[in-house]
Structure 1
Amino acid sequence: MSNREQEQSLKLFIVLSRAYRSINDHMNKHIHHHGLNPTEFAVLELLYHKGDQPLQQIGDKILLASGSITYVVDKLEQKELIARRACATDRRVTYAQITDKGTKLLEKIFPGHAEELHHMISVLSDEEKEACIEMLKKVGLNARNIYKGKE
């Protein structure tokens, strides 16, 4: 690998990191404005769009450590935005489900959230978005495969 190739990889990483930080910082402010932190929003959004989820699987789906899930679910339950429900067939499994209050909150804030995100990314054409999606998937899968090989 040449120095130029390595420099391009470093530059891409920096640009990607800065873009992510800019978008994420703005979206987090939007979420905080509605009394939620980003993790709480992610759990609510998952339950809103995908339905009831086993607590054990929520962390994997929103990329959060399992120990943190209990804390976040407790906070959302205290706010009456979600409820725990025991699995009818396996006592070891507990589901999180969004409440009516949680659904109403997401119905109120998600359209604005999606619009904010779209507004930031609208500088790209549909073709550019598709190309970015494919390229970033390719890089992510490669990184995952390299990492798995070193475990």
Structure 2
Amino acid sequence: MKIKNTTSYGKNADRSMQTWIQLFRVYNKIRAKEIAYITSFGITMNQFEVLEVLYHRGDLNVGTITKLIMSTPGNVTVVVRNLKRDGYITSLPDPSDKRASILSITEKGKELIEKLFPTHAKNFEGYFEALSEEETNTLFTLLRKLHKSV
């Protein structure tokens, strides 16, 4: 027996919360599928995120990576240690800050990203195929606007 909540917090608040729930559900579904795909290559999603940033943005320090992947310094430290251990990245002292290091993706790391990223990109194309090109563009614009306002 399904019980419907009849409490309203106002038309705009109700629709905003319903929209958030839909965004969250879509995010969780896509994230779960991508975690399954990425872990099939023997790395974690967090490791993939660090490798992907280094591959597409070039050499970076840990602080910048932490911000770009929206993680925590403690988590990124563990991820970096494991990626270095497995030969996917290297680190060099940061010439502008003796306490920091610059991370760089190795050939082994590049090979892994180049192997898995094309299918990863195609997966996302598939997730959005229910939307027309115009709808996808509108969704992007609206989400970007929302992101900037929060």
For 1:89 and 1:18, the matched residues in 2 are separated by 43
Counterpart of 1:146 in structure 2 is none
Of 112, 120, 134, the residue aligned with 2:119 is 112
Which residue identity lines up with residue 119 of structure 2 in the other structure?
G
Of 35, 38, 41, the residue aligned with 1:31 is 38
1:86 corresponds to 2:89: no
Counterpart of 1:46 in structure 2 is 53
For 2:62 and 2:19, the matched residues in 1 are separated by 36
State the 1:4 CA deviation: 1.8
Report SS of the residue matched to 2:104: strand
Gaps of 5+ in 2: 1-8
Gaps of 5+ in 1: 144-151
Of 94, 99, 102, the residue aligned with 1:95 is 102
Report SS of the residue matched to 2:91: strand
Aligned residues of 1:27 and 1:117 also touching (Cα < 8 A): no
Of 127, 131, 140, the residue aligned with 1:124 is 131
RMSD: 1.3
Task: Using structure 2 for the length normalisation, give the TM-score.
Answer: 0.89
> What is the total number of aligned residue pairs between the two structures?
142
Percent of pairs with identical residues: 31
Report SS of the residue matched to 2:99: coil
Task: Using structure 1 for the length normalisation, give the TM-score.
Answer: 0.89
For 1:138 and 1:70, the matched residues in 2 are separated by 32
State the 1:120 CA deviation: 1.1
Aligned residues of 1:86 and 1:94 also touching (Cα < 8 A): yes
For 1:3 and 1:89, the matched residues in 2 are separated by 53
For 2:34 and 2:83, the matched residues in 1 are separated by 19
